[in-house]
Chains A and B, each alone.
Chain A
Amino acid sequence: MTLTERRATIDAAAAPRTTAAPRPVAVGVPRLLYVFAVIGLGLLTLPVLALLVRADWPGVPAAITSPEALSALGLSLRTALAATLLCLLLGVPLAVVLARTSSRVADVVRALVTLPLVLPPTVGGIALLYLLGRRGLVGEQLDLLFGLRIPFTTSAVVIAQAFVALPFLVIAVEGALRSAGDRYEVVAATLGAGRWTVLRRITLPLVGPGLVSGTVLCFARALGEFGATALFAGNSAGVTRTMPLAIYTAFNGAGVTQDSAVALSLLLVAVAVVILVLSRAWRPGGRG
């Protein structure tokens, strides 16, 4: 049987006897992949499910409205917001410069930007101490010249959060800028627009979605930051004890039960879900 003959046979066998609604056929993926995909999804969602099941629900309202919990939540939101603003102020310029420079230096800088992503946050915390600590490279001078002591203050929390969250913003915005390209900027320039006008009216609006998702990721990362904060800012209630530190403290049973740690965790999960939903709901350039 030649290949053509065989194909003819197959065609004949497959010839439809009844009419059915046409359905597009995808190329498909190997079945085995589904198994791993499902396990992967489970790894991501089951822990949160366990948290929900394990929670002592009647005790939750009291736990999350306790003065300690509210103070930690307030501090977390304030510091994460401040860190996000700091990241926007520094990260957007960094992303623009990186996206619009094509030198070897830019490649090196890009690698440096991702450093906090691959570095364990605790190492980041120690590094920040050696830079801004009382005997640190810069911290010593700040103390001598201005009497400024950063470690173990709320400012230290913000700096630690910005340190770990900045790469998320820079990578998201730079990626958006690169895929948008500079063609619109060139046209804008030929229309007589100066560099600031182009940045303000063309470049940034065009990467709006990337900027929003980068900002959301950045805020979420700042909110969840633990390791660098613990080492660089410490764990003092009302000053540097953010939600993750409060949860850790509660879990280790320093005066409270594990139940309140779970309740606080639920609160943080709820905040994260709200952030995700809000960022999805706001889609610039969508149908409207």
Chain B
Amino acid sequence: MSDFLEARFAVRRDGFELDLGFAAAQGEVLAVLGPNGAGKSTLLAVLAGLLRPSSGFVRVGDRLLTDVPVRGKPRLVAPEHRAVGLLGQDGLVFPHLTALENVAFGPRSVGMRRGDAPRHAAGWLEAVGLADLAARRPAELSGGQRQRVALARALAAEPQVLLLDEPLAALDVGVAPQLRQLLREQVARTGTTTVLVTHDVLDAVVLADRVLVLDGGAVVDEGPTAQVLAAPRDPFTATMAGVNLVVGEARDGGVRAPDGRHVVGREALEPGGQAAAVFAPSAVAVHTRPPAGGSPRNVWRTHVVALEPGQAVIRVRTAGRPELVAALAPAAVAELGLGEGTEVWLSVKATEVGLHRR
């Protein structure tokens, strides 16, 4: 597999150093996770051509967009010639243009004819479900609608690489899931190679094929999303992710784990395709004998792999693919007499489990 996007660079400023390398295949979605100040925004600025790194390069396809050799003349393709799109937390929809004019801006700028651009833009607005609101100005749209316009505008410019900078962070919790699904559909439909910066593990779960964890200016963890989030190697990912994540086939209204366990959630999923079930370790109850039936829930038999100290809780890791973690108070662990190898039954209420298409 030849990498479509490849970047390897260092940015040094007083008191801050970012030094990393990564690559993404064509059409791949790479999520960059990390705490504040880890260098996520700096990374995007370098990719977009808004910041010249101290050294290193950015390559997309066979075009070298940024090239700052240790010795020699630095070369930087201007942002307008990179075909690298950017969608941030605030979509920055141009306030003086209508939704349609906003979306047509990219095509018009690269020379599409005045007559063709609006038709082209209308198609994109339809793709994000805003066909009716083409004539509205941003002030007459909701935050979620504005972000849809911004997405349509970014995609209409047909970028080779799309940069998403916390694209859902400023939206209401009620609106974010819809837009997350829309992002997933559109990115998949267009096959756009995407770098997504986020602090929300759900964004990575739903959107990303692979995850890169950045801390203190360096890559501390990297790999397929499910693997990195389920078995975090880095303490930051562990606290941030800190979730049980079961990725598998959507079947019987729930998710079928690689080891065959079935997870049901708050609402039923249409069968077919990939999906992820997400639930907190604190939602997992641990029993030493089969629990009695009650409200709809998930019950699995397994055994304890390890007990790990957490913040005021003990993280009980249990066997399976993936391993599932329960967070228990130390007193509960003592009462149940849990230790490595103890046979246990885990139960999780369906209402505690979020199901997400991937």
Contact of A186 among B50, B82, B94, B105 (CB under 8 A): B50
**B204, CB-defined interface residue at 8 Å:** no
Name the residue of chain B whose CB is nearest to the CB of A284.
B96
**A192, CB-defined interface residue at 8 Å:** yes
Contact of A193 among B48, B80, B85 (CB under 8 A): B80
Q: Which residues of B contact A198 (CB under 8 A)?
A: 80
**B175, CB-defined interface residue at 8 Å:** no
Q: Identify which of residues 186-210 in chain A touch chain B, using a CB-to-CB cut-off of 8 Å.
A: 186-195, 197-198, 201-202, 205-206, 208
**B58, CB-defined interface residue at 8 Å:** no
Contact with A along B133-170 (1 / 0, CB 8 A): 00000000000000000000110010100000000000
Query: In whole angstroms, how far apart are the Cα atoms of A186 and B82 in the complex?
Result: 13
Contact with A along B105-141 (1 / 0, CB 8 A): 1100110000000000000000000000000000000
**A285, CB-defined interface residue at 8 Å:** yes
Q: Is the CB of A192 within 8 A of B106?
A: yes
Q: Which residues of A contact B81 (CB under 8 A)?
A: 192
Q: Which residues of B contact A191 (CB under 8 A)?
A: 80, 85, 105-106, 109, 153-154, 157
Count of interface residues, chain A, beta-carbon cutoff 8 Å: 21
Q: Is the CB of B109 within 8 A of A194?
A: yes
Q: Is the CB of B80 within 8 A of A189?
A: yes
Count of interface residues, chain B, beta-carbon cutoff 8 Å: 24
Q: Identify which of residues 152-194 in chain B touch chain A, using a CB-to-CB cut-off of 8 Å.
A: 153-154, 157, 159
Q: Which residues of A contact B94 (CB under 8 A)?
A: 184, 187-188, 202, 206
Q: Which residues of A contact B84 (CB under 8 A)?
A: 190
Task: Given the known inter-chain contacts A188-B109, A190-B48, A192-B109, please indicate yes or no for A285 contacting B95, CB distance below 8 A.
Answer: yes
Task: Given the known inter-chain contacts A190-B48, A191-B106, please indicate yes or no for A184 contacting B92, CB distance below 8 A.
Answer: yes
Q: Which residues of B contact A184 (CB under 8 A)?
A: 92, 94
Contact of A190 among B79, B95, B96 (CB under 8 A): B79
Query: In whole angstroms, how far apart are the Cα atoms of A194 and B109 in the complex?
Result: 7
Q: Is the CB of B95 within 8 A of A206?
A: yes
Task: Given the known inter-chain contacts A189-B78, A191-B105, A191-B109, please indicate yes or no for A206 contacting B96, CB distance below 8 A.
Answer: yes
Query: In whole angstroms, how far apart are the Cα atoms of A263 and B106 in the complex?
Result: 56
Q: Is the CB of B80 within 8 A of A194?
A: yes
**A183, CB-defined interface residue at 8 Å:** yes
Q: Is the CB of A188 within 8 A of B105?
A: yes
Query: In whole angstroms, how far apart are the Cα atoms of A194 and B92 in the complex?
Result: 18
Q: Is the CB of A192 within 8 A of B80?
A: yes
Q: Identify which of residues 180-239 in chain A touch chain B, using a CB-to-CB cut-off of 8 Å.
A: 183-184, 186-195, 197-198, 201-202, 205-206, 208
Q: Which residues of A contact B46 (CB under 8 A)?
A: none
Name the residue of chain A whose CB is nearest to the CB of B153.
A191
Q: Which residues of A contact B110 (CB under 8 A)?
A: 192
Q: Is the CB of A190 within 8 A of B85?
A: yes
Query: In whole angstroms, how far apart are the Cα atoms of A186 and B94 in the complex?
Result: 12
Query: In whole angstroms, how far apart are the Cα atoms of A71 and B109 in the complex?
Result: 48
**B206, CB-defined interface residue at 8 Å:** no
Name the residue among A184, A190, A285 with the largest chain B CB count within 10 angstroms. A190
Q: Which residues of B contact A186 (CB under 8 A)?
A: 48, 50, 79, 86
**B285, CB-defined interface residue at 8 Å:** no
**B280, CB-defined interface residue at 8 Å:** no
Name the residue of chain B whose CB is nearest to the CB of A201.
B105
Q: Which residues of A contact B79 (CB under 8 A)?
A: 186, 189-190
Name the residue of chain B whose CB is nearest to the CB of A198.
B80
Q: Which residues of B contact A206 (CB under 8 A)?
A: 94-96
Name the residue among B78, B92, B109 with the largest chain A CB count within 10 angstroms. B109
Q: Which residues of B contact A188 (CB under 8 A)?
A: 94, 105, 109
Q: Is the CB of A190 within 8 A of B86?
A: yes
Query: In whole angstroms, how far apart are the Cα atoms of A193 and B104 in the complex?
Result: 12
**B83, CB-defined interface residue at 8 Å:** yes
Q: Is the CB of B153 within 8 A of A192?
A: no
Q: Is the CB of B109 within 8 A of A187?
A: no
Q: Is the CB of B92 within 8 A of A193?
A: no
Query: In whole angstroms, how far apart are the Cα atoms of A189 and B49 in the complex?
Result: 10
Name the residue of chain B whose CB is nearest to the CB of A208.
B96
Chain A nearest Cβ from B219, distance in angstroms: 25
CB-based closest 5 A-B pairs: A193-B109, A191-B106, A189-B79, A190-B86, A192-B110
* Given A183-B90, A186-B48, 5 further pairs, Cβ under 8 A: A188-B105, A190-B82, A190-B157, A193-B109, A201-B105
